[in-house]
Structure 1
């Protein structure tokens, strides 16, 4: 990526781990401190992304695993080029729900594709762009499922997968964090939201 002055923070974790709650709390904390924050997500952070999101999460039929990975990569290429990079160049804080680590975990481990190939595809799509900080909300699959069930809303294609799928996803996220400890902050998502938020703020304060 070109030189930038903003800060890029991504949130990762399994479905039901509380990413949305923590993103909202972090956005408010940063905004109250006077920062300009852009909240975005993958897929779906652009007009093109909305279309891709509908396909990968809500399409009623099967999608071949490689096709699914390519759709996520296409969304990522457009999102980074048209949303993330311009915001960073404006000096904003980009707060993003999911990035390439989700592709490695969900399409690599979950769909049992080659994780290295999935990562390389995403890096090519995003011109090698990596966030300054990745917050990983770690939660076991059983607890996450209980949270999703209590939300009383229809499951999307990934949320509907079996426990074995979500266990592979979690293990992959933890392996990614272990491989890049300087980029990741792993948080126990079973803790109270305010406790998690305090841990996040302590790390983010050093960046902003």
Structure 2
């Protein structure tokens, strides 16, 4: 899935398994970007818009087997279409930097590869909904599955449906993200999330300084 720049803004997605620390790193990167005077919009998937947030509850709460992979993917893309239309595209047109906690790579990893729906079906949905409006840069936070499940389990919130699918499924998800990164090295950067928050944040900034130095310049 190729994703050329499609607007005057800049679109960054964070991906990775549960517990990898995406939310924390997104906040730190957003603050660094705001210090350069840029408008930064933080959003998430599923969610990020009124329709997307309504669908989020359906997807993330309840029994692990509540939905089949095809049902999950269709719900994800319904939410994504609303998210793009109402949040992401307007912000990019204003010239903002949009940072999203998950985007289309999560559907490919969780439903397409780990969920056995297959690449073809997910790619078809991607082409219908996203096309050339995907991220300019994707940061994949990589963490061993057991550590990720330990961290995410400590939060105790209700959105634990995917975590409850178990370590074997989560390992498939991890390998799926790494495979996506291998296929699209120009868009994706894998960053180890095993170390402390500051160390991980430093690695992310190094990626941006190397690939898109204009983002962190005043």
5+ residue gaps in structure 2?
Answer: none
CA RMSD in angstroms, aligned pairs only: 1.7
The correspondence for 1:143, drawn from 122, 142, 147, is 147
Partners of 1:94 and 1:2 in 2: CA distance:
12
Partners of 1:207 and 1:118 in 2: CA distance:
33
Aligned twin of 2:27: 24
Deviating more after overlay: 142-151 vs 63-72: 142-151
Partners of 1:111 and 1:98 in 2: CA distance:
17
| Secondary structure of residue in 1 paired with 2:13 | strand
Is 1:107 matched with 2:111?
yes
Is 1:36 matched with 2:65?
no
State the Cα deviation string for residues 6-47 of structure 1 (Å, max 9, x = none). Answer: 110000000001101100110111112211000001111000
Return closer, same or farther for 1:198/1:37 CA change in 2, 3 Å cut-off.
same
5+ residue gaps in structure 1?
Answer: none
Aligned twin of 1:184: 188
Aligned twin of 1:13: 16
The correspondence for 2:126, drawn from 114, 122, 126, is 122
Aligned twin of 1:4: 7
Partners of 1:149 and 1:156 in 2: CA distance:
8
Contact 2:61–2:158 at 8 Å: present in 1 too? no
* TM-aligned CA deviation for residue 3 of structure 1: 4.8
Equivalenced residue count is 208
Contact 1:76–1:122 at 8 Å: present in 2 too? no
Note the 1:40-59 alignment, pairs <5 A. 40-59=43-62
Aligned twin of 1:157: 161
Aligned twin of 2:72: 68
Calculate the TM-score normalised by the size of structure 2: 0.89
Contact 1:44–1:52 at 8 Å: present in 2 too? yes
